[in-house]
C-alpha cells in the first residue's frame, strides 16, 4: 500500500484505482479495432463481442453451455472438497505418522494427468458427464488435500493442548480447534482448486464433449466465427472471476480468509 | 548403522507405492479386472519397451520435455524481470494494473489458439507460446508476491550500511524473493505440463500426449497405459528436479514454505555450489538441444509415411 492522497480517500477512489485499468484496456481494444490499428477480423471491437454475447443469450445458444460447464465444475469441486478437506484434516492432525508412508504415493498420484485419466475413464464411463466431472474432481482434489493436510499439521500445539485441558475429545478438538485454526490454508487450497477446475474443464470440454463452454469455444474456432469465439472467451473469463469473487465473499463472511492474493484471484 | 536406517527410511517411503503397483499387476493377472480395459503393469511396461524400439518413444519424450522447458524459460524470461520492475520500481503502476493482469490470467489460451497461430504462425511456436502463457501468470504473481514480501527492515539495514541500489537488489531483494519466484515456477511448470498433454492430444503430431491420443483412437489400450506411465514419471521427475535445485540453491528456505505442494520443501539439506549449478545448466542445455533436434526429426518423419504407420492411420 502506498501512502499518499489516493490511500484512504474513500471506497470509490480505491475502487477506481484498482479497476480503472480494466476499463482503459477495454476502451483501447475498442478504439484500436474501430480505428483499424489491429485487424478487426481477428480482433473485433469489444462492443461487438458484448453484443454477440447478448444475442447468443437471446437465441438460447449461450446459457445451456454456461449451465453445463458450471454444473460440471461445481460437481467436481464439491466432491473434491467433500473428500479432500476431511481426509486432509485427519491426516494432518492425527495421523502424521502415516504421512511418511503416504507422501510418495500422493506425489505420484497427484502427477497423474487428468487428461490421461480422461482417456482411461472413457473406457469405463463412456463419453457422458462422468469423465468430465472426474477430471475436475481429480484436478481439485490434490491442492485441497495438500493444503488441508499442511494446515492441520501446522496448528499451534498449544491450542490443541489447551483444548484438551478443557476436556475436548478427539471429535471436539477436530471441530472446535483444528478446523478453525487451519481454515486460512484450507480456504486458500479450495480457492486455488476452484480456479484450476474451470481451467481444466474447458480443456476437457474441448477434447470431447457435445456441449459446454469449451465445446463452444472449439466449434466457433473451427468454423471461424470469430465474434462467437471471443464471446465464449469473455464469458469463460467472467465466470472465472465470478466464481472466485463469490468464493471470496462467502469466505470473508464466514471465516477469516487470508487475503493474500493467490493465482487466478480476482483481487 | 546409518546405511540400515537409510534403507528403512526408503522402505517406509516406497512400500505403499510398490504395493499399489503390485496390486495393479495382480488384479489383472487374477482376472479381477478386464485386461482389455486395464492391462496389467507388465503389459504396460512391455508396451513401453515396444514403443521405445519401434515407434520412437524417446523422440516423443524429448519433444514433450523440450516444449515444456521452452515454455517455462520464455515465461521466466518475461515474467521475472517484469515482476521485479513492477514490484520494485513502479509499485504504483503495479497496484493499478494488477486487476487487469488477473483478468489476463483467467483467459484460457486454449480457447484463443487461433490467435496464437495468427501471431506465431503454424508449427511449434504457437504451442510453446500457449505453454508460456499458462506458466507466465504463476511466475509473475509469485515473483511479485516475493518482491513485495521482502522485509523492509532488511532493505533499510543494507542501506544504512551504505549499499547502493544495485547492491540492495543483488544482495537483498533477489535472494529474499527467490523462494517465492521458484515456487511460482514450480506451479507454472506443473500447470503447463498438464496443459501440454492436453494440447498434444488435440493438435500435435508428436509428443507423449499425441501417443495417448492416437493409441486411444486405434484402441491400443496397453499403449495408453504405457505412455501414461511415461507421463507420470516425467511429471514426477520434473517436480523432483525443480525441488532439488530449489532446496540446494535457496538453502535459507524454511521447511514447509509451500503449503500447497505435496512434497515438503526442506531447507539447508545440501547447498549446491557453483560447479553443480554449472553442471545442471549444461545438462539442461544438452536436453534442450536434443529436444530441438527431436522436434525437427518428428517433422521429418511426418513427411516420410513409410517410417511411422501410426501417422498415416491418424491422418485418415
Q: What is the 3-state secondary structure (H, E, C) of chain B?
A: CHHHHHHHHHHHHHHHHHHHHHHHHHHHHCCCCCCCCCCCHHHHHHHHHHHHHHCCHHHHHHHHHHHHHHHHHHHHHHHHHHHHHHHHHCHHHHHHHHHHHHHHHHCCCCCCHHHHHHHHCCCHHHHHHHHHHHHHHHHHHHHHHHHHCCCHHHHHHHHHCCCCHHHHHHHHHHHHHHHHHHHHHHHHHHHHHHHHHHHHHHHCCCCHHHHHHHHHHCCCHHHHHHHHHHHHHHHHHHHHHHHHHHHHHCCCCCCCCCCCCCCCCCCCCCCCCHHHHHHHHHHHHHHHHHHHHHHHHHHHHHCCCCCCHHHHHHHC
Q: Predicted confidence band at B180 (pLDDT cuts at 50, 70, 90)?
A: confident
At A256 the pLDDT is 52
Closest CA to A203 of B46, B19, B45, B192: B192
Choose among B106, B112, B262: nearest Cβ to A110.
B262
**What are the chain B neighbours of A242 within 8 Å (beta carbons)?**
none
Contact indicator for B54, B308 with CB cutoff of 8 Å: no
Mutate which: B20, B87, B111, B193, vs A, most A CBs within 10 A:
B111
Is residue B296 over pLDDT 90? no
Q: Say whether pLDDT at B181 is over 60.
A: yes
Instruction: Return the C-alpha cell found at A15.
Output: 475502487
Taking the C-alpha atoms of residue B83 and residue B228, their distance in angstroms, rounded to an integer, is: 36
Q: What span, in angstroms and rounded, lies between the C-alpha atoms of B215 and B313?
A: 11
Q: What is the ipTM of this complex?
A: 0.80
How large is the C-alpha radius of gyration of chain A? 22
pLDDT score recorded for residue B271: 63
Query: Which of the given ranges, A242-246, B33-37, B113-117, B257-261, has the highest pLDDT on average?
Result: A242-246
Residue with cell 463472511: A253
Question: With 80 as the cut, is the pLDDT of residue B248 above it?
Answer: no
Out of B106, B225, B262, closest to residue A106 by CB: B262
Q: Is residue B285 part of a domain?
A: yes
| Chain A contact set for B237 (CB, 8 A) | none
Which of A105, A202, A217 comes nearest B17 by C-beta? A105
pLDDT digits (tens, 9 = 90+) for A177-223: 888 888 888 888 898 898 888 888 888 888 777 888 888 988 888 88
The predicted structure's pLDDT at residue A260 = 43
CA distance A167 to chain B (A): 30
Minimal Cα distance from A19: which residue of B? Answer: B99
pLDDT of residue B2: 54
Q: Is residue B154 part of a domain?
A: yes
- Nearest alpha carbon to residue A261 among A236, A240, A242, A244: A244
Backbone angles phi, psi at B136, to 5 degrees: -60, -45
Q: Which domain holds residue B59?
A: 37-315
Digit-coded pLDDT (tens) for B64-116:
999 998 999 999 999 999 998 888 888 888 888 888 888 888 888 877 787 88
The total number of structural domains that make up chain B: 1
Contact A113 B108 (CB under 8 A): no
Grid cell of B273 as nine digits = 555450489
- B296 inside domain: yes
pLDDT one-digit tens code per residue, A228-261 = 889 998 999 889 888 988 888 887 776 654 444 3
Domain annotation covers residue B28: no
Q: What confidence tens digit (pLDDT) does each residue in A146-161 have? A: 888 888 888 888 888 8
**Position B58 in a domain:** yes
CB-CB under 8 Å, B236 with A108: yes
CA atoms within 13 A on the CB side of A7: 6
- Are B116 and B129 contacting, i.e. CB atoms less than 8 angstroms apart? yes
pLDDT single digits (tens) B123-157: 788 889 999 999 999 999 989 888 888 888 888 88
- CATH, residue B189: 1.10.3720.10
Position A72 scores a pLDDT of: 92
Q: What is the pLDDT of residue B293?
A: 87
Tell me which residue in A120, A260, A264 faces B106 most closely, judged by beta carbons: A264
Structural domains of chain A ordered from first start? 1-43 (no CATH), 45-254 (1.10.3720.10)
Specify the pLDDT at position B113: 80
Q: Which residues of B touch A131 (CB under 8 A)?
A: none
Hey, are the CB atoms on B236 and A116 less than 8 Å from each other? no
pLDDT of B186-202, one tens digit each?
888 888 888 888 888 87
pLDDT of residue A2: 44
pLDDT of residue A262: 36
Residue B95: the pLDDT is 82
- For residue B312, the model assigns a pLDDT of 45
pLDDT at A140: 92
Q: Residue A177 belongs to what H/E stretch?
A: none
pLDDT at B39: 86
Of B91, B100, B228, the CB nearest to A2: B91
B228 has a chain A CB within 8 A of its CB: yes
Between A187 and B254, name the one with better pLDDT: A187
Q: Which residue of B has its CA nearest to A24?
A: B100
Let me know if residue B22 belongs to a domain.
no
Whats the size of chain A, residue-wise? 267
- The mean-pLDDT minimum among B9-13, B98-102, B162-166, B233-237 falls in B9-13
Least confident of A95-99, B47-51, B98-102, B116-120: A95-99
Answer yes or no: is B229 within a domain: yes
- Please check whether residue B31 lies inside any domain of the structure: no
- Sign of the Cα torsion B88, A256, A241, A217 reads positive
Q: Please, is B4 exposed, middle or buried when counting C-beta atoms within 10 Å of its C-beta (0-12, 13-18, 19+)?
A: exposed
Look up cell 534403507; give the residue. B7
Please determine, for residue A76, whether its predicted confidence score (pLDDT) is greater than 80. Answer: yes
Q: Does B218 touch chain A (CB under 8 A)?
A: no
Amino acid at each position: 500500500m502506498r501512502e499518499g492522497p489516493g490511500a484512504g480517500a474513500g471506497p470509490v477512489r480505491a475502487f477506481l484505482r484498482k479497476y480503472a485499468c480494466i476499463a482503459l484496456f477495454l476502451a483501447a481494444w475498442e478504439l484500436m479495432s474501430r480505428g483499424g490499428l489491429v485487424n478487426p477480423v481477428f480482433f473485433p471491437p469489444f462492443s461487438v463481442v458484448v453484443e454477440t454475447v447478448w444475442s447468443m443469450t437471446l437465441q438460447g445458444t449461450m446459457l445451456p453451455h454456461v449451465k453445463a460447464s458450471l454444473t460440471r465444475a461445481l460437481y467436481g469441486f464439491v466432491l473434491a472438497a467433500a473428500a479432500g478437506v476431511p481426509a486432509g484434516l485427519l491426516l494432518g492432525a492425527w495421523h502424521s505418522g502415516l504421512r511418511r508412508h503416504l507422501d510418495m504415493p500422493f506425489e505420484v498420484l497427484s502427477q497423474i494427468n487428468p487428461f490421461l485419466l480422461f482417456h482411461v475413464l472413457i473406457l469405463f464411463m463412456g463419453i457422458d458427464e462422468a469423465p468430465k466431472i472426474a477430471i475436475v474432481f481429480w484436478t481439485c482434489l490434490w491442492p485441497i488435500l495438500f493444503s488441508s493436510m499442511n494446515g492441520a499439521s501446522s496448528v499451534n500445539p498449544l491450542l490443541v493442548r489447551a483444548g484438551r485441558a478443557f476436556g475436548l475429545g478427539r471429535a471436539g478438538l477436530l471441530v472446535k480447534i483444528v478446523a478453525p485454526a487451519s481454515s486460512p490454508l484450507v480456504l486458500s487450497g479450495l480457492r486455488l482448486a476452484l480456479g484450476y477446475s474451470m481451467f481444466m474443464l474447458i480443456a476437457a470440454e474441448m477434447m470431447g464433449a457435445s456441449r459446454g463452454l469449451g465445446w463452444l469455444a472449439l466449434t466457433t474456432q473451427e468454423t471461424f466465427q470469430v465474434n462467437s469465439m471471443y464471446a465464449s472467451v469473455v464469458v469463460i473469463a467472467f465466470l472465472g472471476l465470478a466464481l472466485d469473487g463469490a468464493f471470496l465473499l462467502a469466505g470473508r463472511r464466514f471465516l477469516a480468509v487470508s487475503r493474500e492474493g493467490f493465482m487466478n484471484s480476482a483481487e | 548403522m546409518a546405511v540400515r536406517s537409510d534403507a528403512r527410511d526408503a522402505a517406509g517411503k516406497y512400500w505403499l507405492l510398490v504395493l499399489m503397483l503390485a496390486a495393479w499387476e495382480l488384479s489383472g493377472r487374477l482376472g479381477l479386472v478386464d485386461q482389455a480395459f486395464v492391462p496389467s503393469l507388465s503389459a504396460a511396461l512391455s508396451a513401453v519397451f515396444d514403443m521405445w524400439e519401434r515407434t520412437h518413444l524417446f523422440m516423443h519424450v524429448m519433444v514433450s520435455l523440450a516444449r515444456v522447458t521452452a515454455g517455462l524459460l520464455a515465461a521466466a524470461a518475461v515474467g521475472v524481470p517484469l515482476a521485479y520492475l513492477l514490484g520494485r520500481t513502479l509499485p504504483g503502476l503495479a497496484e493499478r494494473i494488477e486487476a487487469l493482469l488477473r483478468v489476463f490470467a483467467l483467459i484460457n489460451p486454449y480457447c484463443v489458439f487461433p490467435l496464437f497461430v495468427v501471431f506465431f504462425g503454424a508449427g511449434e511456436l504457437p504451442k510453446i507460446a500457449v505453454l508460456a502463457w499458462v506458466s507466465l501468470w504463476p511466475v509473475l504473481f509469485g515473483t511479485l508476491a516475493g518482491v513485495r514480501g521482502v522485509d523492509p527492515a532488511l532493505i533499510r539495514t543494507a542501506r544504512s550500511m551504505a549499499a547502493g541500489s544495485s547492491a540492495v537488489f543483488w544482495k537483498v531483494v533477489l535472494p529474499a524473493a527467490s523462494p517465492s519466484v521458484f515456487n511460482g515456477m514450480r506451479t507454472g511448470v506443473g500447470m503447463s505440463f498438464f496443459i501440454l498433454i492436453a494440447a498434444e492430444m488435440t493438435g500435435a503430431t508428436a509428443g507423449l500426449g499425441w501417443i495417448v491420443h492416437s493409441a486411444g483412437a486405434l484402441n491400443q489400450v496397453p499403449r495408453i497405459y504405457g505412455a501414461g506411465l511415461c507421463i507420470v514419471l516425467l511429471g514426477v521427475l520434473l517436480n523432483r528436479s525443480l525441488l532439488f535445485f530449489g532446496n540446494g540453491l535457496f538453502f535459507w528456505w524454511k521447511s514447509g514454505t509451500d503449503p500447497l505442494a505435496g512434497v515438503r520443501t526442506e531447507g539447508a539439506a545440501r547447498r549446491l555450489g557453483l560447479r553443480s549449478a554449472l553442471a545442471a545448466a549444461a545438462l539442461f542445455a544438452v536436453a534442450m538441444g536434443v529436444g530441438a533436434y527431436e522436434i525437427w526429426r518428428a517433422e521429418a518423419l511426418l513427411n516420410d509415411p513409410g517410417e511411422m504407420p501410426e501417422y498415416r492411420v491418424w491422418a485418415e
